[in-house]
Structures are given as structure tokens and as C-alpha cells.
Structure 1
Amino acid sequence: MIQKLKLYANLVKFEHTIFAIPFVLASVFILEKGLPDLEKVFWILVAAIAGRTAGMAFNRFFDLPFDRLNPRSKNWVSVTGAVKAGEILALAIVSSGILVFSAYQLNKLAFYLSPIAILLLIIYPLGKRFTNFVHLILGAVYFIIPVAVSVALKGTVEISMIFLGLGMAFWVAGFDIFYALQDVEFDRKVGVHSIPARFGIKRAIIFARIFHFLTFVFLVLTGIYADLGSVYFFGLIVLTGFLVYEHSLIKENDLSKINVAFFTVNGYVSVLYMVFVITDIYL
């Protein structure tokens, strides 16, 4: 059982949950100006983790025909058969059910809206088959995170959470473009759509820069509308430095540092954002 759980965690890259959870907690603190009811926080976190697990499982299930052909993914547990296709789909369905159940524990509005999140999680992997701007579909998934937190805690959508959602959307879309740079030639060969495959590496990097500039703009607006203070805005300067560093690692003729840019730097961005939000609120 432990070995199977390890395989499932490897399948969905469970460690990458760090990209989303800090933003979930930051949303909670911004809305409550402190820590709310711990039971609500618990169900919000369960919903977020279940949603991300479902999304990754749907992604691996629908991408299986491509992953089997891609040399980069030849050792993935979904390709080797260590986790069967039926198991992947079952994990996606069970995780979706946990998401819906968690939303039900929060309030009726969250419960009624939860299928929208699941629909987006399914559309993203399918979107690679029909739109070059599939990265924005993934961005839409992250957009609804702070919006969903607002619904869960307030029963309504605060404007600051809309701006935070937009900031997260363009942040994720930008680094998803970086991730897609690894497979430009393969994607063109098999018909997978993406900005890098359509516009080339050089223009794709420009798209990512524009998206991350918009991230900065929307995070500034989040701070203004949430009435956050100087620590928050100082934190945005620090985060901007990390984003600039991330872009300095990616060059048209040198993609060897994509993993550092994608995993390490973005992990710091999400965690530091949460730290600066909480510090600002308590100071």
C-alpha cells in the first residue's frame, strides 16, 4: 500500500503542490486579516489538494498517448505501466469527489460551483489538442483558487481575490510556457498545441515575459484593494527579482536550466508571497 501511494504521488508530482497551497493560505489571510476558523481552513486545503491531484491525474490520463511517444516521459510511471490507465482515471474521479465533498462542507455556493473547477481540470489536457493558448486554460484553473477561497469564507467574491486570481493565472501560464519549451519539436510532430510550438522559442519567451509582467500588475492591485501595507509591497519587489532571475535562466539557445526556473524559482515565489502576506497582516 505504501509503495502504491508513492507511485501515485510520483504520478501527480505531489511535491509540486507547493505552487498552489501557499497562495491558498495567502488568500485566507488576506480575506480574514488573520487566521479564520480552523475547520474551514482544513476543508479548503483538502479541496485544493484534491483538486490539484485530480487535475494532474486527468492530465496524465488524457496525455497518455503522447507521453508514450515522448522520449522525455519514457520513464514516467504512467508510461511504464507501474500505474495503470484505469488507476489514473480512478484517482482523478475519486479526487474530484473529494473536492466536491470538501466544497459541501464549506457552504452550498461552494458546493454548487465545484463542478466548474472539475470541468476546467478536464478541459486543460484536452485543450492541447485544439488551442495554442492552452496555457491560459491552466491559468484559469489557478484563477479560481482565490475566488473559490472567497466563496468558501465569505459566500461572495471579493474584488481583491479577482485580482489575485488574475495574478496567479498569468504567473502559472507564464511558467507553463517555459515548461512547454522542452517539447517544441515533439509537439509539432504529434500535433500538440502550445505557444512555443506555434510561435517558436523566441516569441514564446516574450509571451512569458508579458504574462509575468501582468502578474506583477495584478498583485499590486491585489494589495491596493485588500488594503495591505508596506511589507506586502516590499515583498512584491523581492518576488519581481525572482521572476527576473527566472527569465534570465531561459535563453533561446540554452534551455538547460528550465528545471531550475520552473521548479525551484517558482516554489520560492509562491512560498515567499505567502510569507510576505502573513507578515504584513500581523505587523
Structure 2
Amino acid sequence: MNLKAYAELTKFEHTIFALPFLLSSVVLLVDSFPSLWKLFWILLAFLSARTLGMSLNRLIDLPIDRQNPRTKDWIHARGEVSEESIKRLAVFSGAVFLLSSAMINLYTLLLAPVVLILLVFYPYAKRITYYPHLVLGMVYFLIPVAVDVAINEQVSKIALVLGVGMGFWVAGFDVLYSLQDYEFDKSYGLKSIPVKFGLGRAIKVARVFHIITFLFLFSLIFLVDFLGFIYVLGMLLLGAFLFYEHSLVKEHDLSKINKAFFTVNGYVSIAYFLTVLFDRLL
């Protein structure tokens, strides 16, 4: 595959959702600036895990994506990227992830299989449970936990609280994103919160998830010494972004889902990182 095809297959632009939260985790959890060597392996582990997850998702969901009107024109569903190419990408990225985990420390290597299990399970989750969004949330929950293990060789209360906030953030917007596939999922026998509860109730569930996100992220001000007035202002901005995201999505009008998903969630993660960074620097 060429670089453009690779980026399109793995939706590389979606990295903006998780990468700022990864960096936020580093800023919140370190006592002093870690070595560039360790940061390199942490970042490589993150990127390779994400690539592995996207590759497995594309590979396992290929028969579904070929029939779903929303995804049938995606590059892998059109056949422009072969199954063998996706398999090779998954094997390569998985190997890089394990290598990166081993290069950080023993504890990250021991945590790596948990991440792999969740990445493999997520594409199958919508065939098994009505709550696949929470499986994806678990993957994001592990990001600050893994950072804490990588840098401090522990799992602190800060990492757990941050992980819960991140997990419900991604689970919430995954619920909103799945609204688009409501009719197809029902006809194909796939499961999701919208399929179980209907569009209106699913939107309310997503709102509850994001309220949990806001509360847990805000509560970090009581756990992290350097967080103060700037963090409060940043959280108010983040809350405004989440409110705006939900104002775009209505039960009888899903036309702005992509704006809510791609644009606003990018703002949320970037705003949070800048808030944490400036509060620590200033």
C-alpha cells in the first residue's frame, strides 16, 4: 500500500482524538520530564496499537462494510486494499506494539496482552453485546493507566480517574456515531445501544456518558497539585464543546453527526491537553 492508502485505511486523522489525551496523561502523571527515549517508545506503542486496532476492525468487519451503505465505498470495502495487505499491516503493527511495550519496562509488557485482547474483541463486540461502545471505552481507559505504568511503574488514582473520564468520553461519541447505522444494524442483526434502546434514548445515554466524563475530569483538580484556575476555565470550555456536540445531534435529524464526531471531539481533546499543559507550565 502507498502512504495515502494506508492513512485512509486506518483513518490516521482520527489520531487527533486520542493523542492529545495521551499527552495530557504524560503531563498529569510525571513528576519530572521523562527521557526522550522513553517518550519515543510510549508514542510508538500508542501509534502501533491504534494501527493494529484499526486494521483488525477493517479486516473483521470487511463483510459488513461491503454491505453497509455508509461504508461500502471505503477503501477496503471497494477492494483497493487487499485482505492480505490488511493482515500484514495488523501483524506488523502488533509486533511493533509488543516490541515497544517490552522496551519501556516489564510491567508495560505484561499489560500489553490486555490491550491486544480488547483490540481483537472490539470488532466482534457488536455481534455479542449491545454495549460495544463500552469495550472501546475500555481501550481508552487503559491509555492513562498504561502511561502511569510506563513512567512510574504504578497505577495511581489520578490515572484511574483520568481513564474513566476518557473511557466514557469515547464511549459517548461512539454511541452518537453509531446512530448512523441504526437501520442497517437492526436489519443485519448487529447490536448497539441505539438498536437496544432506540435513537432518542441512545442520545440520552450518550449525554449521561459525557456528563460522567466532565465530572471525572473536573475531579482531577482535587487530586493533582498543580491544577488550578486555568484548569477550571479549560473544563468550562470543554463542557461547552460537549454541550455543543450534543446540540448538533437530534433524534429526527442526524445530518450533523459527522460535524459532532470529527470536528467537535477534536476540539475537546486538544482543548483538554492545552489546558493541562498551560496549567502546569504557568
Query: For this structure pair, what is the TM-score category when the shorter chain's length is used for normalisation?
Result: over 0.9
Write the mapping of 1:156-195 to structure 2, written as runs, cut at 5 A. 156-195=154-193
CA contact (8 A) 1:34 1:281 kept: no
Write the mapping of 1:84-123 to structure 2, written as runs, cut at 5 A. 84-123=82-121
How many pairs are equivalent? 281
Deviation at 1:79, TM superposition (A): 0.7
- Aligned match of 2:5: 7
Amino acid of the residue matched to residue 17 of structure 1? Answer: T
Deviation at 1:5, TM superposition (A): 2.0
CA contact (8 A) 1:63 1:125 kept: yes
Residue ranges of structure 1 left out of the alignment (5+ in a row): none
Distance 2:210 2:218 in 1: 13
CA contact (8 A) 1:43 1:103 kept: yes
Distance 1:99 1:229 in 2: 36
Deviation at 1:36, TM superposition (A): 2.0
Amino acid of the residue matched to residue 124 of structure 2? Answer: L
Distance 2:31 2:274 in 1: 14
Q: Deviations over 1:75-107 (max 9, x none)?
A: 111111111112112211211111111111110
RMSD: 1.0
Amino acid of the residue matched to residue 118 of structure 2? Answer: L
Give the ranges of 4+ consecutive aligned residues of structure 1 lying more than 3 Å apart after TM superposition: none
Amino acid of the residue matched to residue 32 of structure 1? Answer: V
- Aligned match of 1:270: 269
TM-score by length of 2: 0.97
- Aligned match of 2:208: 210
The SS at the match of 1:20 is helix
2:257 is aligned with 1:258: yes
The SS at the match of 1:72 is coil
2:142 is aligned with 1:140: no
Q: Percent of counterpart pairs with the same letter?
A: 52
Deviation at 1:34, TM superposition (A): 5.4
- Aligned match of 1:39: 37
CA contact (8 A) 1:160 1:223 kept: no
TM-score by length of 1: 0.97
